[in-house]
Protein backbone atom coordinates (compact mmCIF):
# COMPACT_ATOMS: atom_id res chain seq x y z
CA UNK A 1 0.00 0.00 0.00
CA UNK A 2 1.22 3.53 -0.81
CA UNK A 3 1.91 5.98 2.02
CA UNK A 4 -1.04 7.58 3.81
CA UNK A 5 -0.43 11.14 2.55
CA UNK A 6 1.75 12.46 -0.25
CA UNK A 7 1.99 16.08 -1.35
CA UNK A 8 2.96 16.58 -4.98
CA UNK A 9 3.62 20.04 -6.41
CA UNK A 10 2.80 20.60 -10.08
CA UNK A 11 4.22 23.83 -11.48
CA UNK A 12 2.45 25.14 -14.56
CA UNK A 13 4.00 27.37 -17.22
CA UNK A 14 2.93 30.98 -17.72
CA UNK A 15 -0.46 31.26 -19.40
CA UNK A 16 -1.22 33.57 -22.33
CA UNK A 17 -2.49 36.40 -20.14
CA UNK A 18 0.60 36.28 -17.95
CA UNK A 19 2.84 36.33 -21.01
CA UNK A 20 0.92 39.29 -22.43
CA UNK A 21 1.49 41.13 -19.15
CA UNK A 22 5.23 40.35 -19.30
CA UNK A 23 5.02 38.30 -16.10
CA UNK A 24 8.20 36.47 -15.14
CA UNK A 25 8.55 32.78 -14.28
CA UNK A 26 10.11 32.92 -10.80
CA UNK A 27 10.24 29.24 -9.81
CA UNK A 28 13.49 27.26 -9.97
CA UNK A 29 14.16 23.60 -9.24
CA UNK A 30 17.13 22.92 -6.95
CA UNK A 31 18.94 19.58 -6.71
CA UNK A 32 17.57 16.89 -9.00
CA UNK A 33 14.44 18.98 -9.59
CA UNK A 34 12.13 16.24 -8.35
CA UNK A 35 11.46 17.07 -4.70
CA UNK A 36 11.80 20.85 -4.17
CA UNK A 37 11.08 24.23 -5.69
CA UNK A 38 12.76 27.55 -4.95
CA UNK A 39 11.04 30.95 -4.98
CA UNK A 40 12.93 34.08 -4.05
CA UNK A 41 15.78 32.04 -2.62
CA UNK A 42 13.49 30.05 -0.31
CA UNK A 43 13.13 26.29 -0.82
CA UNK A 44 9.90 24.32 -0.43
CA UNK A 45 10.08 20.52 -0.19
CA UNK A 46 7.50 18.01 -1.40
CA UNK A 47 7.19 14.27 -1.90
CA UNK A 48 7.50 14.97 -5.62
CA UNK A 49 7.71 17.98 -7.91
CA UNK A 50 6.21 17.92 -11.41
CA UNK A 51 7.84 20.49 -13.68
CA UNK A 52 5.97 22.49 -16.36
CA UNK A 53 7.06 20.29 -19.27
CA UNK A 54 5.64 17.10 -17.71
CA UNK A 55 2.96 15.32 -19.74
CA UNK A 56 -0.49 14.45 -18.42
CA UNK A 57 0.51 10.77 -18.52
CA UNK A 58 3.58 11.44 -16.36
CA UNK A 59 1.41 13.31 -13.86
CA UNK A 60 -1.04 10.40 -13.73
CA UNK A 61 1.67 7.81 -13.13
CA UNK A 62 3.14 9.87 -10.29
CA UNK A 63 -0.08 11.05 -8.66
CA UNK A 64 -2.74 8.43 -9.20
CA UNK A 65 -1.56 5.07 -10.49
CA UNK A 66 -0.36 3.76 -7.07
CA UNK A 67 -3.63 4.83 -5.42
CA UNK A 68 -5.72 3.10 -8.09
CA UNK A 69 -3.76 -0.09 -7.42
CA UNK A 70 -4.54 0.27 -3.69
CA UNK A 71 -8.26 0.73 -4.34
CA UNK A 72 -8.33 -2.40 -6.50
CA UNK A 73 -6.75 -4.23 -3.56
CA UNK A 74 -9.52 -3.15 -1.19
CA UNK A 75 -8.17 0.09 0.27
CA UNK A 76 -9.61 3.60 0.25
CA UNK A 77 -7.92 6.59 -1.33
CA UNK A 78 -8.36 10.28 -2.08
CA UNK A 79 -6.89 12.46 -4.80
CA UNK A 80 -7.46 16.18 -4.88
CA UNK A 81 -5.88 19.23 -6.45
CA UNK A 82 -5.33 22.15 -4.07
CA UNK A 83 -4.41 25.63 -5.21
CA UNK A 84 -5.36 29.15 -6.09
CA UNK A 85 -8.01 29.93 -8.70
CA UNK A 86 -6.55 29.50 -12.23
CA UNK A 87 -3.56 27.48 -11.02
CA UNK A 88 -4.42 24.47 -13.21
CA UNK A 89 -6.39 22.20 -10.87
CA UNK A 90 -9.12 21.34 -13.36
CA UNK A 91 -6.63 20.76 -16.18
CA UNK A 92 -4.74 18.35 -13.93
CA UNK A 93 -7.82 16.49 -12.70
CA UNK A 94 -9.92 16.49 -15.90
CA UNK A 95 -7.80 17.78 -18.75
CA UNK A 96 -9.40 17.51 -22.17
CA UNK A 97 -11.83 14.60 -22.03
CA UNK A 98 -11.47 12.23 -24.96
CA UNK A 99 -8.00 13.48 -25.89
CA UNK A 100 -5.47 10.66 -25.34
CA UNK A 101 -2.63 13.15 -24.76
CA UNK A 102 -4.30 15.90 -22.74
CA UNK A 103 -6.89 13.96 -20.72
CA UNK A 104 -6.32 14.37 -17.00
CA UNK A 105 -6.14 12.21 -13.90
CA UNK A 106 -9.84 11.34 -13.62
CA UNK A 107 -10.41 9.89 -17.12
CA UNK A 108 -7.14 7.98 -16.89
CA UNK A 109 -8.23 6.49 -13.57
CA UNK A 110 -11.53 5.37 -15.05
CA UNK A 111 -9.87 3.72 -18.04
CA UNK A 112 -7.28 2.10 -15.75
CA UNK A 113 -9.94 0.58 -13.48
CA UNK A 114 -11.93 -0.90 -16.34
CA UNK A 115 -8.82 -2.13 -18.17
CA UNK A 116 -7.89 -3.94 -14.96
CA UNK A 117 -11.34 -5.52 -14.78
CA UNK A 118 -11.30 -6.59 -18.44
CA UNK A 119 -8.00 -8.43 -17.86
CA UNK A 120 -9.10 -10.32 -14.74
CA UNK A 121 -10.05 -13.99 -14.53
CA UNK A 122 -13.69 -14.86 -15.14
CA UNK A 123 -14.03 -16.09 -11.56
CA UNK A 124 -13.72 -12.48 -10.32
CA UNK A 125 -16.97 -10.52 -10.27
CA UNK A 126 -16.81 -6.71 -10.10
CA UNK A 127 -19.46 -4.14 -9.20
CA UNK A 128 -18.66 -0.46 -9.77
CA UNK A 129 -20.88 2.33 -8.51
CA UNK A 130 -20.39 6.10 -8.46
CA UNK A 131 -21.77 9.09 -6.58
CA UNK A 132 -21.27 12.78 -7.31
CA UNK A 133 -22.04 15.66 -4.97
CA UNK A 134 -20.82 19.15 -4.16
CA UNK A 135 -20.25 21.00 -0.92
CA UNK A 136 -21.55 24.53 -1.40
CA UNK A 137 -21.65 26.99 1.52
CA UNK A 138 -21.09 23.96 3.79
CA UNK A 139 -24.20 22.20 2.47
CA UNK A 140 -24.02 18.94 0.55
CA UNK A 141 -25.92 18.96 -2.75
CA UNK A 142 -26.42 15.88 -4.92
CA UNK A 143 -25.18 16.65 -8.44
CA UNK A 144 -27.11 13.69 -9.85
CA UNK A 145 -30.42 14.74 -8.27
CA UNK A 146 -30.62 18.50 -7.77
CA UNK A 147 -33.73 18.16 -5.60
CA UNK A 148 -31.41 16.85 -2.85
CA UNK A 149 -29.93 20.15 -1.66
CA UNK A 150 -28.87 19.58 1.96
CA UNK A 151 -27.79 15.97 2.49
CA UNK A 152 -26.63 15.00 5.99
CA UNK A 153 -23.44 13.20 6.99
CA UNK A 154 -24.24 10.10 9.08
CA UNK A 155 -22.19 7.23 10.49
CA UNK A 156 -22.73 3.56 9.69
CA UNK A 157 -22.62 0.75 12.26
CA UNK A 158 -18.80 0.88 12.18
CA UNK A 159 -18.86 4.66 12.80
CA UNK A 160 -17.68 5.38 9.27
CA UNK A 161 -19.06 8.71 7.94
CA UNK A 162 -21.12 8.71 4.74
CA UNK A 163 -23.46 11.06 2.90
CA UNK A 164 -26.97 9.81 3.62
CA UNK A 165 -29.28 9.81 0.61
CA UNK A 166 -26.65 10.49 -2.06
CA UNK A 167 -27.56 9.03 -5.45
CA UNK A 168 -25.60 5.92 -6.42
CA UNK A 169 -25.28 4.77 -10.03
CA UNK A 170 -23.99 1.37 -11.07
CA UNK A 171 -21.75 1.63 -14.14
CA UNK A 172 -20.30 -0.99 -16.45
CA UNK A 173 -18.06 0.95 -18.85
CA UNK A 174 -15.90 4.09 -18.97
CA UNK A 175 -18.48 5.72 -21.24
CA UNK A 176 -21.19 5.34 -18.59
CA UNK A 177 -18.91 6.96 -16.00
CA UNK A 178 -18.16 9.90 -18.30
CA UNK A 179 -21.90 10.39 -18.87
CA UNK A 180 -22.42 10.62 -15.10
CA UNK A 181 -19.55 13.12 -14.78
CA UNK A 182 -21.00 15.31 -17.56
CA UNK A 183 -24.41 15.21 -15.89
CA UNK A 184 -22.97 16.27 -12.54
CA UNK A 185 -20.68 18.98 -13.92
CA UNK A 186 -23.65 20.69 -15.56
CA UNK A 187 -25.17 21.17 -12.10
CA UNK A 188 -22.17 22.67 -10.27
CA UNK A 189 -22.10 26.16 -8.82
CA UNK A 190 -19.82 28.46 -10.82
CA UNK A 191 -19.32 32.23 -11.00
CA UNK A 192 -17.24 34.87 -12.76
CA UNK A 193 -14.38 36.47 -10.80
CA UNK A 194 -11.50 38.73 -11.79
CA UNK A 195 -9.19 35.71 -11.68
CA UNK A 196 -11.30 33.16 -13.56
CA UNK A 197 -14.35 33.58 -15.77
CA UNK A 198 -15.57 30.08 -14.83
CA UNK A 199 -14.63 29.73 -11.17
CA UNK A 200 -16.05 26.77 -9.23
CA UNK A 201 -17.80 27.97 -6.09
CA UNK A 202 -18.02 24.56 -4.49
CA UNK A 203 -15.92 21.51 -3.71
CA UNK A 204 -17.09 18.52 -5.72
CA UNK A 205 -16.58 14.90 -4.68
CA UNK A 206 -16.81 12.11 -7.26
CA UNK A 207 -16.74 8.78 -5.45
CA UNK A 208 -16.00 5.45 -7.11
CA UNK A 209 -16.76 2.28 -5.15
CA UNK A 210 -15.19 -0.96 -6.38
CA UNK A 211 -16.55 -4.23 -5.02
CA UNK A 212 -15.09 -7.52 -6.14
CA UNK A 213 -15.76 -11.14 -5.27
CA UNK A 214 -13.84 -14.29 -6.09
CA UNK A 215 -16.60 -16.74 -7.01
CA UNK A 216 -14.38 -19.74 -6.20
CA UNK A 217 -13.02 -18.67 -2.80
CA UNK A 218 -15.86 -16.24 -1.89
CA UNK A 219 -13.23 -13.66 -0.89
CA UNK A 220 -14.65 -10.16 -1.19
CA UNK A 221 -12.87 -6.79 -1.35
CA UNK A 222 -14.28 -3.29 -1.17
CA UNK A 223 -12.32 -0.15 -2.09
CA UNK A 224 -13.36 3.49 -2.48
CA UNK A 225 -11.71 6.29 -4.38
CA UNK A 226 -12.64 9.91 -3.67
CA UNK A 227 -11.79 12.33 -6.49
CA UNK A 228 -12.09 15.88 -5.20
CA UNK A 229 -12.20 19.05 -7.28
CA UNK A 230 -11.59 21.79 -4.72
CA UNK A 231 -12.81 25.32 -5.21
CA UNK A 232 -9.85 27.63 -5.70
CA UNK A 233 -8.35 29.45 -2.74
CA UNK A 234 -8.64 33.20 -3.24
CA UNK A 235 -7.53 36.49 -1.76
CA UNK A 236 -10.92 38.14 -1.54
CA UNK A 237 -9.71 41.64 -2.49
CA UNK A 238 -7.96 40.32 -5.60
CA UNK A 239 -11.01 38.53 -7.02
CA UNK A 240 -13.32 41.54 -7.05
CA UNK A 241 -15.87 39.47 -5.16
CA UNK A 242 -18.91 41.07 -3.55
CA UNK A 243 -22.36 40.04 -2.36
CA UNK A 244 -23.05 36.31 -2.70
CA UNK A 245 -19.73 35.68 -4.44
CA UNK A 246 -17.92 37.31 -1.50
CA UNK A 247 -19.77 35.05 0.96
CA UNK A 248 -18.85 32.06 -1.19
CA UNK A 249 -15.18 33.04 -1.21
CA UNK A 250 -15.08 33.39 2.57
CA UNK A 251 -16.73 29.98 2.99
CA UNK A 252 -14.34 28.39 0.49
CA UNK A 253 -11.30 29.74 2.31
CA UNK A 254 -12.68 28.60 5.68
CA UNK A 255 -13.20 25.03 4.46
CA UNK A 256 -9.77 24.94 2.79
CA UNK A 257 -8.24 26.06 6.09
CA UNK A 258 -10.02 23.18 7.85
CA UNK A 259 -8.66 20.79 5.23
CA UNK A 260 -5.14 22.09 5.80
CA UNK A 261 -5.51 21.63 9.55
CA UNK A 262 -6.50 17.98 9.10
CA UNK A 263 -3.59 17.29 6.76
CA UNK A 264 -1.14 18.95 9.17
CA UNK A 265 -2.49 16.91 12.08
CA UNK A 266 -2.14 13.66 10.10
CA UNK A 267 1.38 14.47 8.92
CA UNK A 268 2.46 15.38 12.46
CA UNK A 269 0.86 12.25 13.95
CA UNK A 270 -1.39 14.29 16.24
CA UNK A 271 -3.59 12.39 18.69
CA UNK A 272 -6.51 14.63 17.68
CA UNK A 273 -7.40 15.15 14.03
CA UNK A 274 -10.14 17.81 13.53
CA UNK A 275 -12.22 15.92 10.95
CA UNK A 276 -15.46 17.44 12.26
CA UNK A 277 -14.46 21.03 11.49
CA UNK A 278 -15.97 20.86 7.99
CA UNK A 279 -18.28 18.71 5.89
CA UNK A 280 -15.46 18.02 3.43
CA UNK A 281 -13.01 16.65 5.99
CA UNK A 282 -15.78 14.65 7.65
CA UNK A 283 -16.66 12.94 4.38
CA UNK A 284 -13.02 12.19 3.54
CA UNK A 285 -12.22 10.84 7.00
CA UNK A 286 -12.67 7.22 5.92
CA UNK A 287 -10.10 7.50 3.15
CA UNK A 288 -7.44 9.03 5.42
CA UNK A 289 -7.54 6.37 8.10
CA UNK A 290 -4.92 3.72 7.29
CA UNK A 291 -6.83 0.45 6.90
CA UNK A 292 -6.13 -3.09 5.81
CA UNK A 293 -7.78 -4.29 2.61
CA UNK A 294 -11.47 -4.15 3.41
CA UNK A 295 -13.68 -7.19 3.11
CA UNK A 296 -17.43 -6.95 2.88
Query: Which residues make up each annotated binding site?
Result: 83-90
Q: How far apart (Å, rounded) are the C-alpha atoms in residues 15 and 8?
A: 21
Q: Indicate the annotated binding residues for ATP.
A: 83-90
Q: Hey, how many other C-beta atoms are within 10 angstroms of the C-beta on 223?
A: 25
- H helix runs in the chain, sequence order: 16-20, 56-63, 65-72, 89-93, 105-118, 174-185, 236-239, 244-267, 279-288
- H helix runs in 166-243, sequence order: 174-185, 236-239
CA 25 to each of CA 43, 142, 279: distance values in angstroms, whole numbers, following the listed order: 16, 40, 36
Q: How far apart (Å, rounded) are the C-alpha atoms in residues 206 and 190?
A: 17
Q: How far apart (Å, rounded) are the C-alpha atoms in residues 166 and 151?
A: 7
Q: Pairing between strand 36-39 and 27-28? A: antiparallel
Give the three-state DSSP class for 157: coil
Contacts of 210 (CB under 8 A, 6+ apart): 71, 72, 113, 126, 127, 128, 221, 222, 223, 224, 225
Q: How far apart (Å, rounded) are the C-alpha atoms in residues 186 and 133?
A: 12
Amino acid sequence: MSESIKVICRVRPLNDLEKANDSKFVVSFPGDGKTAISIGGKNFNFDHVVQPKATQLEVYEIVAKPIVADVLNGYNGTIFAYGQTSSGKTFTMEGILGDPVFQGVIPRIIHDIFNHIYQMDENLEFHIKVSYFEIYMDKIRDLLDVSKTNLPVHEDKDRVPYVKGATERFVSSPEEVFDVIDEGKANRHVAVTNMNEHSSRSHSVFMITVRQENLETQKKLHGKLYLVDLAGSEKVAKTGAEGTVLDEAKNINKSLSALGNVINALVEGSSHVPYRDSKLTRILQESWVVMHGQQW
